[in-house]
Structures are given as structure tokens and as C-alpha cells.
């Protein structure tokens, strides 16, 4: 049985500009769990400091500390929070084999095509990288085209109700205009974003006035 609340606020090692961090903060808020954030200055390279590498040897945010538990990787954290604290874990991760597999498919998308497309397109603009964005913009549109087609048949990525699939993919899709990728050609994707934003407890990710969002 899932616990109602942690004994103490969960600590989130966080970067406000990171969509990976936002998906964790979003799920914590949707579950109404107490948490506090410790900002990690990515631009200053704080994620590569010995102190932070002791928390996550990969040098990436987010990391959470929940009592004696230290856990990295945003999707792993979503799974942990769901199994540990969600009043109804099956709501976010179905217990039947096919339902669970459908969610896992989109968690893989979040770690693959989403990270290599929309996330990277935004990073190039956000950090002013001297990189040709053409390929990542094309990959972003390829992913959004698939999402648009699949969301024509259902309201959420993995089925008729919201799951971890939606939480894992929301942030970078919502902010892809910051990477010079327009959402205008994707009405079903925009409707899906609005459904996620209408969830009780939803908290937005900070918007950066860059790219098409400038």
C-alpha cells in the first residue's frame, strides 16, 4: 500500500530551466507531496562538482533525496514516486501487461526521441550553442508528427486517461517553440498539452523568451 506522505519534504536537486527536473516537480505537485528544491547551477558546472557527483555519478539533474533514498534519473524518479506515494499507482502506471507496456513505450520516447529532438533544439537556443540546429529541428517535427497522429485516436499518449507517459513527455513538448519548433501544425498535440495543464495540481515550467517564444 502506498504511503500518503513522506515523513519529511523530499529534496529535489533541480535546475529551473530543465524539463527533466520539471517533470519531477510536476508529478510531486500532482501527488500533493511536500518537497524542497536545491538549485544546481548547470551553467557554472556545479553538476560536475565532487559533491554532486557523489549524488549522481552521471552528473545530471534531477536527483531526489527521500530520507535514506537517493535516486537519479527523472523517469526512474517518476516510477519511484508512483510506487511509493501515489494513492492509486495503477492510475499512473497500469497494472495490466499491455497498459504498462504502452506507458513504457512513451517513457522510452522521453529518454530517446524527445531528448534528441525537442529537448536538444531548445538547449541549442537556450545555451547559445554554435551548432547547426537543422537535424534536431527535423527530429522534433518527426516526433510531433507521430504524436499528432496517435493523439487523434485517444486523449492521452498511452490511452484514455493520464499516465506517467504524459508527465514524462509534457515539459519539452510544451516548450519546444523555445527551440524554434512551431506547434501550430499540431492541433491534437496542443489539445493534449491543454489536458495536462488542466490537471489538478498542475504547475507550469518557467518559460524562456527565446526562439519562437521570444
Render each residue's pLDDT in the chain as its tens digit; 214 residues: 445 688 899 999 999 999 999 999 999 999 999 999 999 988 888 898 999 999 999 999 999 999 999 999 999 999 999 999 999 999 999 999 999 999 999 999 999 999 999 999 999 999 999 999 999 999 999 999 999 999 999 999 999 999 999 999 999 999 999 999 999 999 999 999 999 999 999 999 999 999 999 8
Q: What does each C-alpha distance from 12 to 15, 32, 39, 89 come to in angstroms?
A: 9, 15, 8, 21
Q: How far is CA 16 from the centre of its chain?
A: 12
Q: What is the structure's pLDDT at 44?
A: 86
> Which of 163, 158, 156 lies closest to 90 in space, CA to CA?
163
Whether the CB-CB separation of 164 and 103 falls below 8 Å is answered with yes
- For the residues of 111-126, what is the DSSP string, one character each? HTHHIIIIIHHHHHHH
171: cell is: 515539459
**Distance from C-alpha of 24 to C-alpha of 42, rounded to nearest angstrom:** 17
Integer Cα distance of 8 and 10 in angstroms:
6
Q: Check residue 182 and give its pLDDT.
A: 98
What pLDDT shows up at residue 1?
Answer: 44
Q: Which of 214, 151, 124, 138 is nearest to 177 (CA)?
A: 214
Structural domains of the chain, with CATH = 10-90 (3.40.30.10), 94-213 (1.20.1050.10)
Amino acid at each position: 500500500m502506498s504511503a500518503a506522505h513522506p515523513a519529511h519534504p523530499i529534496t529535489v536537486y533541480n535546475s529551473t530551466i530543465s524539463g527533466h527536473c520539471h517533470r519531477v516537480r510536476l508529478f510531486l505537485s500532482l501527488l500533493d507531496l511536500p518537497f524542497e528544491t536545491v538549485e544546481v547551477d548547470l551553467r557554472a558546472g556545479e553538476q560536475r562538482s565532487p559533491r554532486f557527483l557523489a549524488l549522481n555519478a552521471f552528473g545530471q539533474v534531477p536527483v531526489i533525496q527521500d530520507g535514506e533514498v537517493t535516486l537519479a534519473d527523472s523517469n526512474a524518479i517518476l516510477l519511484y514516486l508512483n510506487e511509493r506515494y501515489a494513492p492509486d499507482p495503477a492510475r499512473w502506471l497500469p497494472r495490466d501487461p499491455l497498459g504498462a507496456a504502452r506507458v513504457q513505450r512513451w517513457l522510452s520516447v522521453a529518454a530517446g526521441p524527445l531528448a534528441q529532438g525537442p529537448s536538444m533544439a531548445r538547449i541549442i537556443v537556450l545555451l547559445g550553442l554554435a551548432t547547426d540546429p537543422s537535424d534536431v529541428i527535423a527530429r522534433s517535427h518527426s516526433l510531433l508528427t507521430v504524436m499528432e497522429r496517435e493523439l487523434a485516436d485517444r486523449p492521452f499518449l498511452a490511452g484514455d486517461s493520464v499516465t506517467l507517459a504524459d508527465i514524462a513527455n509534457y515539459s519539452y513538448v510544451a516548450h519546444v517553440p523555445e527551440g524554434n519548433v512551431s506547434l501550430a501544425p499540431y492541433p491534437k498535440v496542443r489539445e493534449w498539452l491543454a489536458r495536462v495543464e488542466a490537471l489538478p495540481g498542475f504547475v507550469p515550467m518557467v518559460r524562456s523568451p527565446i526562439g519562437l517564444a521570444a
